[in-house]
A = this chain, B = another copy of it.
Amino acid sequence: MVKNTGRAGYLQIADDLRAQIRGGSLAPGTPLPSTAQLAEQYDASLSVVKMAVGILRNEGLVIGQQGKGVFVTDPDQTPAAGDTGGEVAELRAVVQDLSVRLARVEEQLATSTTPRSGRSSR
């Protein structure tokens, strides 16, 4: 399953699993196969599989529970790894502000343009 494409085996596995997660084959909350099973499926060592899963964990796509397994995270509740979360939060705040202001403007326009005919054809 791990091909000689020059791309490291652990990255290929991570790519494959990520594609499954992104593509919906592995839905949020779904447990991934165990490390042992993945090693068998991908014909790789446990260590390589662990590395691959570690990559996805750092990306926030999966979360592991000792003794239980590794589960696909819910994208709506994933803070997003790294500082991106902070940037996204910032953008959300700005968008929220714009939304409020725009609603206000729309309201003003709705009440102020009604009596003025000729201004409604924008």
Interface residues of A, Cβ cutoff 8 Å to B? 51, 54-55, 58-59, 80, 82, 84-85, 87-88, 91-92, 94-95, 98-99, 101-102, 104-106, 108-109, 112-113, 116, 119, 122
- Bound CA span A116–B108, Å: 12
- Bound CA span A108–B105, Å: 10
- Bound CA span A104–B113, Å: 13
Across the A-B interface, the 7 shortest Cβ-Cβ residue pairs: A84-B84, A87-B88, A108-B109, A94-B95, A105-B105, A98-B98, A91-B91
Inter-chain contacts of A101 with B (CB < 8 A): 102, 106
Inter-chain contacts of A105 with B (CB < 8 A): 102, 105-106, 109
